[in-house]
Structure 1
């Protein structure tokens, strides 16, 4: 049963959080549109198209990314205000313990964390499909070409199958210099396929290879050669699955991402840290909402010299260190210095005990 004080704190929490959310959205949207408008228009789009087809999904991604910061600053802001007005002293003096006072904070942060979990695992990936389709056209030419231009490709389809492509255009899903090899369990080459050009037929879900040459090696080492103008070939998956880029993990819901990672492991792909980082961060970031709520409450629930300004400065500094440590740890994990699971949970592992210590220290004062 919620008391008047519970409802008051929950209203303050959600109201301040909503205000911060709206303020961040408006400021960042205006700044980002102004900065990216020249590149958008240089790529043949209009800003209005992006405001409809890109920015709503981009904003959702931004909100999830900075939700921990917004929660922390919101808690610091409104708790410092009621502490400076001696409202917390009055509540505790009336007989309520600090633990009882903290209950609406924990309930509200738990609610936000659950919503963030659902968004992270199931809603945000669907938004990322829309966002990532257009985001390369907001980059400079070099960064854009990394995602939409022509590149050399080498991929492992299974433990015995490999594809090498000299030139592959990721946007058009076509290329030249196609080379496929298949080995037996003893690593002996048993089949080889070359093609001068190829493209992906989306409607029929197969590759079309032109000017191909194939070679089959029998058990007695004799060879059977074949060639032709056109061959239809399916490798079980579309190009975005066979030749994944760094954005693919963002586009998959968690069940889809888990299946993709398992399939890549079965193929023998050891370079999965980018996708594992994405998977583990989807849970660790929402959990950080609760940790930062406890930390913010502990730091700002006592009236201090310097008041709201000092608490906000400290809160903003800690929040940015916390959230941007995730980005730094992604790089560390991608270089195989830390495992993805440890890297994505390390900020919570470090800040969690600190938050608990400060909370009980404040409760015992």
Structure 2
């Protein structure tokens, strides 16, 4: 490897790791101070949260802002090189701008590949730990929305439906249960009502108390049955039957793809939130390479205002990039844009912009 490559890669990773450590420490201190009262109110200590929650939360935070960290890091150290006329010296020695940019590409590609693996297989594991504790860092109202009881409904197939008047996902029990099954002509053929429902984790079945069962035959005759207790399985645990919005975050990519496929077969039309998560896992790592070249193009030339001007431009673009992802998620969840397009649209906009600025800079 050439001396130039080693020099730039060292600056790339050195600045990136410094920014990563700085962001982690600053945000961690601020977040702990803000959430400590609510953590204590729920019977936990801050010390417990520091090892049971925050390590996993930090992984989520880093992966969310990875491309922005890379972008600002590249702008920072490249601007310093430009202000010190190092880039002018390198180009004047006979190296082309494309040769100068080569180590940027390999360094960003390495981080992108690592991020790709983490997003698809490591981050879901961290999210399981994070999402389990996170409700206890919310205020009472938001915590109740997640841990409290609410009405739920589920579509098991195009012809099977479940309704529960009040269900607590944490305790896996509820009241006011109704299961309805129809034939191809949308005619009710089976009905199961129960005053209470609970999940037996050992037997992996649901327990229905004070149940009423009705089976309607082809000749419209009915078979009625009632009793105190009934065990019945729907083939899936409660978490899969009544998925939360965060369920997709907890699944590695093969599991998430299978889950989405199964939900489509069931007739679930509210899948965009899971599809957004699936496509973002790949789109974000690709943006690392795109933003690296955008940052290189913006900061490799000495300009009036120096480092401060470049950082101001970089932070502004970083804000636009992050905001666009979050805004497009909402747009996609409202079914205005397909999830694939929504999650790749920032790259489709910033990619050509980075290419235009890069070749413009290379030809100067």
Residue in structure 2 matched with residue 277 of structure 1 by the alignment: 276
Query: Secondary structure of 1:125's match?
Result: helix
1:297 aligns with 2:296: yes
Distance (Å, rounded) in 1 between the aligned partners of 2:24 and 2:36: 17
Distance (Å, rounded) in 2 between the aligned partners of 1:91 and 1:43: 59
Residue in structure 2 matched with residue 183 of structure 1 by the alignment: 182
Residue in structure 1 matched with residue 127 of structure 2 by the alignment: 128
Q: Work out whether residues 174 and 200 of structure 1, in 8 Å CA contact, stay in contact via their aligned partners in 2.
A: yes
Distance (Å, rounded) in 2 between the aligned partners of 1:259 and 1:309: 48
Distance (Å, rounded) in 2 between the aligned partners of 1:350 and 1:53: 39
Distance (Å, rounded) in 1 between the aligned partners of 2:39 and 2:150: 23
Residue in structure 2 matched with residue 149 of structure 1 by the alignment: 148
Shift of 1:324: 2.1
Residue in structure 1 matched with residue 34 of structure 2 by the alignment: 35
Residue in structure 1 matched with residue 58 of structure 2 by the alignment: 59
Residue in structure 1 matched with residue 220 of structure 2 by the alignment: 221
Distance (Å, rounded) in 2 between the aligned partners of 1:353 and 1:58: 33
Shift of 1:142: 1.8
Distance (Å, rounded) in 1 between the aligned partners of 2:222 and 2:341: 50
Structure 1: unaligned runs, 5 residues or longer: none
> Where has structure 1 moved over 3 Å in runs of 4 or more?
none
Distance (Å, rounded) in 1 between the aligned partners of 2:145 and 2:337: 26
Distance (Å, rounded) in 2 between the aligned partners of 1:144 and 1:362: 51
> Residues 40-65 of structure 1, C-alpha deviation per residue, up to 9 Å, x if partnerless?
11111111111011000000000000
Distance (Å, rounded) in 1 between the aligned partners of 2:324 and 2:210: 51
Distance (Å, rounded) in 2 between the aligned partners of 1:252 and 1:7: 38
Distance (Å, rounded) in 1 between the aligned partners of 2:93 and 2:55: 46
Shift of 1:113: 0.3
Shift of 1:202: 1.1
Aligned residues: 364
Query: Secondary structure of 1:68's match?
Result: helix
> Residues 14-52 of structure 1, C-alpha deviation per residue, up to 9 Å, x if partnerless?
000000000000000000000000111111111111101
Distance (Å, rounded) in 1 between the aligned partners of 2:47 and 2:234: 39
Alignment of 1:150-299 (within 5 A): 150-299=149-298
Residue in structure 2 matched with residue 335 of structure 1 by the alignment: 334
Distance (Å, rounded) in 2 between the aligned partners of 1:325 and 1:142: 28
Residue in structure 2 matched with residue 311 of structure 1 by the alignment: 310
Residue in structure 1 matched with residue 48 of structure 2 by the alignment: 49
- Compute the TM-score of the two structures, normalised by the length of structure 1: 0.99
> Residues 283-331 of structure 1, C-alpha deviation per residue, up to 9 Å, x if partnerless?
0000000000000000000111110010011101101210221111100
Distance (Å, rounded) in 1 between the aligned partners of 2:70 and 2:273: 27
Q: Work out whether residues 68 and 323 of structure 1, in 8 Å CA contact, stay in contact via their aligned partners in 2.
A: no
- Compute the TM-score of the two structures, normalised by the length of structure 2: 0.99
Instruction: Tell me whether 141-150 or 176-185 shows the greater mean CA deviation.
Output: 141-150
Distance (Å, rounded) in 2 between the aligned partners of 1:266 and 1:278: 19
Query: Secondary structure of 2:219's match?
Result: coil
> Residues 246-279 of structure 1, C-alpha deviation per residue, up to 9 Å, x if partnerless?
1000000000000000000000011100000000
Shift of 1:147: 1.4
Shift of 1:86: 0.5
Shift of 1:140: 1.4
Structure 2: unaligned runs, 5 residues or longer: none
Distance (Å, rounded) in 1 between the aligned partners of 2:44 and 2:170: 16
What is the aligned-residue RMSD (CA, Å)?
0.6
